[in-house]
Amino acid sequence: MIVAETDGEYQFVTQPAHARLAGEFADHWGNDTFETPNPRAAVLLAAYRHDTGWVPYDRQPHLDEDGQPVDFRDMPPETWTDLYEAGVDAVADVDRYAGLLVSLHGAGLRNRRYGLSPSWPETPPAFRSFVDRQENLQSRLAEALHEVGAVSPADQRLLAQLHENGTADEGADSRLWTNYRLLQAWDTLSLAFCVTDSPPGYDGVDAVPTGDGREETLTVAAAGDGEFRVEPYPFDTAPLALSVPVRTVPNDAFDGPDELVRTYYRARRERRSVTLVPGERRGD
């Protein structure tokens, strides 16, 4: 559950709803500047379902020991790892390539996103075994995918670099690395509209591959009335109008977990509109 505290209220967005928004970004990704995802079906599956393990947990909000709603960034390690492992397995059962991407995503969140977030802390001890298990799974999935031609030798070398060094070599030529970075971009862009009641929560998305060996940083700026300018613009249509469901609960409307659940489901599920348009051209 993504929890944003506002003036006297809590706003809740479920992780699966956030993932669906990421998937919708992926669905519309690609134009003259940005290459469309490839292999499309598997990559879009990873985007739409990268948080599928959260489905049972996010059926209701939870309280911490101080009686405050639990945000996804503050969950107990054992709960977090159980959810992610269940989600990775569920996706891999449908498509091994998608499962490989979701495994990289989950492990990367506890491993500086494999070099994309070098300022993040090193892997906490409570998550080390999770990262190790996921990297072992990644190697097995990659080997099986290589046997059917879905993963290249360059992809396997990339995985070896990630597992040994925690990051990719500069200029790594790997479709798997491109797709991992795309998943990070869609995840971050979606979170920008979910972690706050006044988006964007992030004003930039770094290390976004274009498909020709280059990377871009997407800037996101509010333009009013639910409209946001994105530069450079990566989508196949403009404007791109989407939404994410939000429930709002007054912070004095519950006393204990049972009352929070009742109040949460009594609250109307509203739609937060997100309309993306191209930003100002550089140099204009």
Provide the CB-side half-sphere exposure for 283 (13 A, CA): 0
pLDDT 10s digits, 58-94: 999 999 999 999 999 999 999 999 999 999 999 999 9
Q: Which tokens go with 162?
A: 């990630």
Q: Which distant-in-sequence residues (6+ apart) come within 8 Å of 13 by Cβ?
A: 1, 2, 4, 194, 244, 245, 246
Q: Do residues 63 and 1 touch, judged by C-beta distance below 8 A?
A: no
Beta strands in 119-226 (DSSP E): 204-209, 215-224
pLDDT 10s digits, 93-123: 999 999 999 999 999 999 999 999 999 999 9
Residue 150 confidence class, pLDDT cut points 50, 70, 90: very high
**pLDDT at 193 > cutoff 90:** yes
Q: Which distant-in-sequence residues (6+ apart) come within 8 Å of 58 by Cβ?
A: 1, 14, 15, 16
pLDDT 10s digits, 259-277: 999 999 999 999 999 999 9
pLDDT 10s digits, 12-57: 999 999 999 999 999 999 999 999 999 999 999 999 999 999 999 9
Q: How far apart are CA 122 and CA 145, in angstroms?
A: 30
Q: Do residues 11 and 80 touch, judged by C-beta distance below 8 A?
A: no
**Helix crossing, 175-191 with 40-49: angle to 10°?**
30
- What is the rounded (10 degree) CA torsion for 255, 259, 264, 268? -100
**Helix crossing, 77-94 with 40-49: angle to 10°?**
150
Q: Which tokens go with 271?
A: 């739609």
Q: Please, what is the average pLDDT of the chain?
A: 95
Q: Which of 9, 106, 122 has its CA nearest to residue 54?
A: 106
Task: Identify the sign of the CA torsion 143, 145, 151, 152.
Answer: positive
Residue 172 confidence class, pLDDT cut points 50, 70, 90: confident
Gyration radius of the chain over CA positions: 19
